[in-house]
Amino acid sequence: MMQWIAPIAFILAGLLAGIIGEKVIFKKLQNFVAKKRIAGGEIIFHSLHRMTFIWFVLGGFFWAILSSPLKPDIAIVMQKILTIALLYSVTLFFARLTAGFVNLFIRRAEGVPTSLISNLAKIVVLILGTLILLQTVGVQITPIVTTLGIGGLAVGLALQDTLANLFSGFYLIISKQVRTGDYVKLDGGHEGYVTDITWRNTTIKEISNNVIIVPNSKLASAIFTNYHLPVKEITLTMDVGVSYDSDLEQVERVTVEVAKEVMQEIAPELMINEPHIRFHTFGDFSIDFRIYMRVNEYFDQRIGKHIFIKKLHRRYQQEGIQIPFPVRDIYMQDNMNKNQI
């Protein structure tokens, strides 16, 4: 019994060190990095989550095996098991780390990351780590790689639709036709913000908070409008009509002033692009013109039109400018024949 005291002590020491390392040291280092805002620190600590505890515990079990009275063949088997667990945990750590830094790179380059690229990077690291793990424990990986290559052909034929969506997703990302965060309108009438591009489909979130799931292959071949390309800023246009009795110079001045007020409220950084109007039609009951002003993005058109209509209506009332309602004059001719008596 006395010969098992040291192994048990190593196991308990590993558990205790893992708990202290995870709950105390790990938390303090994480708070320190967060305060100092060290680049990539959050990604590293997210990748290390639970790993320090696992490594300390594995270390405790390893020393317990070395100091235990187990038979050599049993000890070797258990050491291999611990080695596999350690290598797998290290592989998982590097997979998390790779995915995190890939997301960080994409965020800095494009604005919003997609899960497709980060998940692919994680899968590649996991596959490489698994092959290294097998090679370490004495398994020949050459036959496995050959088998996977041959089996991959059969799997590719069976998963044609899935592979089509996968490669379509890569095409959408690489071509930059659609990026996460873009506002798009599909040819079927659905519209919203692209929230993610996965290995199979693209997720679009509507303004009503509903989610549209579009297979990547369908989106790659669809006709759609991306309102964030080439830039987010767009021109808001509205048609307005005024009475024929109006002073058009006054109408232009007042309307542009109101448009400037609206832009100052919702898009002050775009004031360098001054709003303007263009008269274009002698209508049936009004002289029609179109107002042009810049807003930050497609969705801002709604609030822009809302504010502009309220302000313009109030200002026209103050200035005595009339917005006529439709009028029709109907002339009737009495063609009734008078009967002769």
Question: Is 184 among the domain residues?
Answer: yes
Residues 10, 111, single domain; the answer is yes
> Phi, psi at residue 159, to the nearest 5°?
-115, 45
- pLDDT class of 340 with cuts at 50, 70, 90: very low
- Contact partners, residue 287, CB within 8 Å, separation at least 6: 241, 242, 243, 244, 246, 248, 279, 281
Question: Is 167 among the domain residues?
Answer: no
Amino acid at 185: K
The fraction of the chain above a pLDDT of 70, given in percent, is: 79
Residues 140, 23, single domain; the answer is yes
What pLDDT digit, counting tens, does each position of 72-85 carry?
778 788 888 888 88
Residues 7, 135, single domain; the answer is yes
Residues 203, 238, single domain; the answer is no
Residues 144, 6, single domain; the answer is yes
239: domain CATH number is 3.30.70.100
Residues 197, 267, single domain; the answer is no
Question: Is 327 among the domain residues?
Answer: no
198: domain CATH number is 2.30.30.60
- For 130-195, the DSSP string reads HHHHHHHTT---HHHHHHHHHHHHHHHHHTHHHHHHHHHHHHHHHHTSS-TT-EEEETTS-EEEEE
- Contact partners, residue 44, CB within 8 Å, separation at least 6: 33, 97, 100
Q: Which has more pLDDT, 266 or 163?
A: 266
Question: Is 124 among the domain residues?
Answer: yes
Count Cβ atoms below 10 Å from residue 31 Cβ, excluding itself: 11
What pLDDT digit, counting tens, does each position of 310-337 carry?
999 999 999 999 988 776 666 666 655 5
Residue 143 reports pLDDT greater than 90: no
Which pLDDT does position 306 carry in this prediction? 93
Euclidean distance between CA atoms 112 and 107, whole angstroms: 5
Which pLDDT does position 291 carry in this prediction? 94
What pLDDT digit, counting tens, does each position of 5-19 carry?
777 887 888 888 878
Question: Is 143 among the domain residues?
Answer: yes
Rounded mean pLDDT of 251-256?
94
Cα–Cα distances (Å) from 194 to 28, 136, 228, in that order, read: 37, 43, 11
Question: Is 68 among the domain residues?
Answer: yes
Tokens 């040819």 found at? 187
Question: Is 244 among the domain residues?
Answer: yes
pTM greater than the 0.85 cutoff: no
Residues 201, 311, single domain; the answer is no
Residues 11, 136, single domain; the answer is yes
Residues 142, 26, single domain; the answer is yes
Residue 113 reports pLDDT greater than 60: no
The number of domains in the chain is 3
Residues 47, 143, single domain; the answer is yes
Q: Which has more pLDDT, 134 or 50?
A: 50
Last residue of a domain, one of 123, 158, 193: 158
Residues 52, 144, single domain; the answer is yes
Question: Is 209 among the domain residues?
Answer: yes
Which pLDDT does position 106 carry in this prediction? 64
Domain that holds residue 290: 234-319
Residues 141/223, Cβ–Cβ less than 8 Å: no
What pLDDT digit, counting tens, does each position of 217-239 carry?
888 888 888 888 888 888 899 99
Which pLDDT does position 277 carry in this prediction? 93
Residues 115, 203, single domain; the answer is no
Q: Which structure tokens are listed for 308?
A: 């502009």
